Structure 1
Amino acid sequence: MCLHTISFWHHTVENNMDNNTLPSDYTQWLAEIKQRVAQARHKAVLAVNTELVCLYWQIGREILERQAQQGWGSKVIDRLGRDLREAFPDMKGFSRANLMYMRAFAETWTDFEFVQQAVGQLPWGHNVLIITRLKSADERLFYVQKALSEHWSRTTLEVQIKNNLHQRLPDIYSTLAQETLKDPYLFDFLGLGEDAQEREIEDALVRHVTRFLLELGSGFAYIGRQYRLEVNGDEFFIDLLFYHTRLKSYVVVELKATAFKPEHAGQLNFYLAAVDAQLKADDDNPTIGLLLCRTQNRLVAEYALSGIDKPIGVAEYELVRHLPENLQSSLPTVGQLEAELGDFELGD
């Protein structure tokens, strides 16, 4: 290689190094792009929310019109709900109760333009709260306007309705945009679940737990994930449902990404009772519940057995173990579950 060629090569490398150096305004530019992305996502979420609310209004309006013209009753609504759930299994908005809310929604707000421009900006949960808790048209309109102008969350809206805000007019601020991002009807409509990032973590954890239980080879048979139960017209979804062939029992698995809360035990017991009532055969044993909760430092895993005299005891975020000794040998121990899931990573 001649001297001229070597000199040219060094000059090219130096230029490339200079070209790869971040410009001085890069940090500011990145911040501006991130802000634009956040704004665009927010606009997209609000637009999709409006489409969902308008869709629900249209369905409700058609139910009203067809009932008036054809005179059919609740059996058609039940059939419609079943057919829509079969066609769109990832959407949770087609229970009988929610179809009746759609009907009431369309009956309450007859002006579709108002739906598009006003109540369509509120999450569906807000709208259900307004039409079910308030009887006066003026009161409903008042809370719609306040929820929009003050950016109320659903919890704040519920509290203000309960406290008769329209008679006191306090000054309250909240985050409607964040509430919209959490609205389960919206994200089910999009096919993303309650929150895309949280759903990704949940999906990975569910896959991990499912694989672990099945690989134990102790009799777990997989039934389904987000297993749907309908109780008195309302829908509920079990995280994981198994059947244990040796114990002849259904096994309900509930996963919580947070520390244990007392309401988790109540929810689990409700699922156990519902499975016993709807799925358990006469010769099956009572349904077993497994609750997995992640605390700040470790995983709390505990069994509860439907039909055992309790309540579940809670102390220092630890559950009292209630599984009878004659069943413990057929199920993974709390220690095994903690060891398996304590080091759980998203990519597992």
Structure 2
Amino acid sequence: MENNKEHHIERTNFDAFVHAVGSEIEQAQVRLITAANAQMLFHYWKIGNYILYHQNLQGWGSKIIKQLAKAIRLNYPEKKGYSERNLTYMCQFARSYPLNVLRSFIDTDARLSVPSIQKVADEVLKLNNGQFTQELTAQIQSTDSQLLEFTQEPLAQIQNVAKTVSAIYRITIEDIEKLFLASPVARINWASHVIMLNNSLPLGVKYWYMKQSVEMGWSSNVLKIQIETNLYNRQISNNKVNNFTATLPAPQSDLANYLLKDPYIFDLAGAKEKADERDIEEQLVKHVTRYLLEMGNGFAFVARQKHFQIGNSDFFADLILYSIPLHAYIVVELKATPFKPEYAGQLNFYINVVDDKLRGENDNKTIGLLLCKGKDEVVAQYALTGYDQPIGISDYQLSKAIPENLKSALPSVEEVEEELASFLDKDNNPQN
């Protein structure tokens, strides 16, 4: 049963409470002009902390949020974004990212300046195991006497959001703002935060998705898909089959292993229900060129079905990309069947050809990526032994679940090819 105080909130206190929130809303509008997203998030975070504090101090229950939303509509009808639902998210936001979490995110950023599978996994585990969620509650519970001492006036503690938040964390609001804005929390949009708040992701995994969203420029729709398709596990947690450590120098081998996913998930909308291998491979090639976001950050399309004349024979590489982070060509071979050892030999051949025909003096070693419809990992690892060219082997899965609103925002194969045509040598045009 809700505390009786909830139904008999002293009018003066509640009016002052609403006034303080309204004042913070108005002040935020000025700051939003210069740094809209980050300042809006900081504003939401402060509001969330403020509501949580007064819920604890006044003994108010959850219905106070509904009453506050109604009061804001009446007193500030032109202000949008303060519905009961959004105010609830603001409280969740503040509870999820108290100040020591923000500090930990900033420290983790510094340690992960050059990411690798092991580094990321270790840092995510540290964040997951940290005792962060208790900080805000503990700070709020220990702040009452200090805040009353600080103000000396009953209404002053209600009337100023910034002073309240400063007192909760015992540092100036300016220092709190600097920490907030320096953290990855401030770099993604509110819609993306709401998606993560609606998912029961461990703290470290949330941090990783934030970083990926920033680095890859994901929209909230793309973030939602990446979470639903469990990208963290596909890129970080799953065992990957490759020989990168044996064939690439340490910094590049770590980065190549970090960028590789297993499995890849491709949308095959428009493919025949009973497609043969050629149909599937053709659809997959078109899909990869259309949805480079699944390949990851910094992959540029170079050619598909790239023709090479070697001796008296013609050969066609399925797909050639260029990885800007790796400074290397990536040769992708797509197979509509489970892995066979001879596939590694075929890919090794194409890597040698690309190294000879395309690789420049400033490019690193060409990397091969073999995408198969399943694999026996032990067989695949044995198959790579003895090759001196870097090769990764991943599964792929086919999905028709990419929403129409996302598809419409992505370029078609033709649009990608037209846009990049000016950068390609005539020899890179599959039509030649």
| Shared fold per TM-score greater than 0.5 | no
Task: Give the TM-score normalised by structure 2.
Answer: 0.25
Larger relative contact order (CA 8 Å, sep ≥ 6): 2
